[in-house]
Amino acid sequence: MPKPTRNTRIPWATLVATALTALLAVLLPPPGPAHAASGPGRAGESRPVHSYDRAVRESVWVEVRTSARRTDRVAVDIVRPREPAQQGRRVPVIMDASPYYACCGRGNESQKKTYDEHGDPVQFPLYYDNYFVPRGYAVVLVDLAGTNRSDGCVDVGGRSDVQSAKAVVDWLNGRARGYRSRTGDTPVTAGWSTGAVGMIGKSYDGTVANAVAATGVDGLRTIVPIGAISSWYDYYFAKGAALFGSGPDGLASRVESDGARARCAAVQRRLVEGAPRNGDWTPLWSERDYVRDAGRVKASVFAVHGLQDLNVRTKHLGQWWDALAAHGVERKIWLSTAGHVDPFDFRREAWVPTLHRWFDHYLMGYDNGVEREPMADVERAPDQWTTDRVWPPAGTRTTTLRPAAGPVAGVGTLGLGQAAPGTTARFTDDPRRSEADWSAAADRATPDKAGFVTRPLTRDLRLSGSSAVRLRVTPSTSSARLSAVLVDLGPAAVRDYAGDGEGIRTLPDRTCWGAGTAGDTGCFQRTEADVKRVDHTVFSRGWADLGHWASARHGRAVTPGRPYTITLDLAAADHVVPAGHRLALIVAGTDAGLIEPASTTPRLTVDLHATSAGLPLVGGYRAFVRATSGAAVAPSPAPEHPRGVRVPVPSLTRLP
């Protein structure tokens, strides 16, 4: 297993070994151009035998046809090992297509691309080039249309975004045109490429990887989406409830280049008009829904997500994962308890070797067994990981739990029995209150929520997958927001996912991952878990606008005094409620800091007889019965001032 080093200088012993390896590579017949990508499996792993400081660094502009009459060119910065080309060998490609290389930067240190006085690339953000180029990979960083040095316009997940990245995959496979400059006519081909491409990236970058995979493009062998969006509607809305203070036009304005800002007013206008803030589904959202095209995905998928990601919420992961599973796509998953964080920053020493083996297998053809290993790695507590052969685990069943009135006024129960007809609970929406406030008062009647709690569990109870809460509610006004959250009531040490680092703390010292140069050292600040002691943990949440009760696509005003039935989709989770803790379901109105309030603040009456929660329990119904019967484990004493992770307010202007 490769180990990080603080020193980027290569010792003499390594130089000798590298020279011998290079000599053998010249003397022995090399495999054919595509052997490493598609030929018979080989044992072992790729080794850092190529020089990084002598690597070829170049820029190419790839042609993208945007209409019958117009083409744009997207800028592609490339770093690739020099030795394979000199030996007549081709290399596979690791590709990260992003809008952030000039405006915002990538990674925990917000690195941007840099260039020398000739315009040639110097710094490639992140560690992909430092680590993988010496191992025989090319690293290709693409400026999405309308950003940095590319032509075109930003359309936030639409055709322009997707085609500008897909065109580069086509160029790497000889199906598109490339040029030496943005405006010149000197053609460039990718004769050095095997055509095998793996796309990787966090957030917007990973979203583009999902989108390109959903086109079914040939040559894309694998994708590694990290905290990625699967449907842009679900980034901005939750069944009609607005999640952020602006639509895709705001994001486009943030990332587009000065030139794009001057020429793309019509595209900006379409983003505004096509994404009304009423939460209705429009054709704009259909174009940006990749879940519907999961059946076209040919690439394997290694998905990574933070279970407490409040930016790109795990609903995106859950629906994408389920769609891929339905179509038999080969896949792997890592789930951390952090927020919107790259695995390089929450599990670096395990992540880089795992990613190395993943790319070796799918891009170079090594038979290293990575595809036969457990499908899922799940973080249970800070830096404590478990594995599952499949995910969700075998034996997971959706189990219907029901709220009912309890012995304490204003605090209900959560169990298997259905409440008697006519049983109700009431609350008044208070847009100043959040899930942290509701959870802290789970054992007390408060006017802003309805809470339902199990007895202390006698055994651990694991929930793994996506939940849904079906509500029958009667509003007092013509509009209403609804929230439902699942809470683990009990003490724990968790990552502080709402803190500045979203669960990590950045340290001053650095470790180096691969080779480096003065302009691109490959050394990055270390991180550690940012841990907080809490007395309750919200681990899944979902929201809706009641006006979208009949259709997630079209809202309408509701009639005061009339009952409505609506289902709230709760984000995918994987959480163990330990013995001695209690599981709570809380239903309320506006979740402050996470959704925007309605135009009114209604009082809502919940019909408990017609309300239920479908939860993905490992072991199903029997597991719940075992965990809620028998001798109860004594819970820890309730604190005088309950502590949870409080979401900062406001938090509605983050970038994906």
CA-based nearest residue to 558, from 482, 476, 450: 476
d(CA 200, CA 204): 11
Bridge partners (DSSP) of residue 525 are 510
Which DSSP symbol is given to 245? Answer: S
CA-based nearest residue to 642, from 442, 407, 409, 449: 442
Burial 580-597 (b: 16+ CB within 10 A, else e): bbbbbbbbbbbbbbbbbb
Catalytic site residue 340? yes
Residue 19 phi/psi, 5° resolution?
Answer: -65, -45
If phi over 0 gives left and psi between -120 and 50 gives alpha, with beta otherwise, what is residue 39?
A: beta
Angle at 396 between CA 390 and CA 399, to 5 degrees: 160
Catalytic site residue 309? yes
Burial (0-12, 13-18, 19+ Cβ within 10 Å), 170: buried
Query: How far is the CA of 30 from the CAs of 38, 490, 577, in angstroms?
Result: 15, 60, 55
In sign, the C-alpha dihedral spanning 602, 608, 614, 619 is: positive
CA-based nearest residue to 8, from 129, 111, 91: 129
Contact 130, 240 (CB under 8 A): no
Three-state DSSP at 593 gives: coil
Residue the block writes with tokens 């209403």: 480
Query: How far is the CA of 645 from the CAs of 211, 228, 494, 502, in angstroms?
Result: 33, 23, 9, 11
d(CA 400, CA 416): 7
Three-state DSSP at 553 gives: coil
- List the catalytic residue out of 98, 160, 193, 203: 203
Contact 541, 484 (CB under 8 A): yes
Omega cis (within 30) before 403? no
Burial (0-12, 13-18, 19+ Cβ within 10 Å), 425: buried
Query: Residue 357, CB half-sphere, CA atoms under 13 Å: how many?
Result: 16
Contacts of 528 (CB under 8 A, 6+ apart): 504, 505, 507
- List the catalytic residue out of 340, 356, 361, 536: 340
- List the catalytic residue out of 309, 342, 488, 569: 309
Residue 85 phi/psi, 5° resolution?
Answer: -65, -40
- Catalytic residue numbers read 203, 309, 340
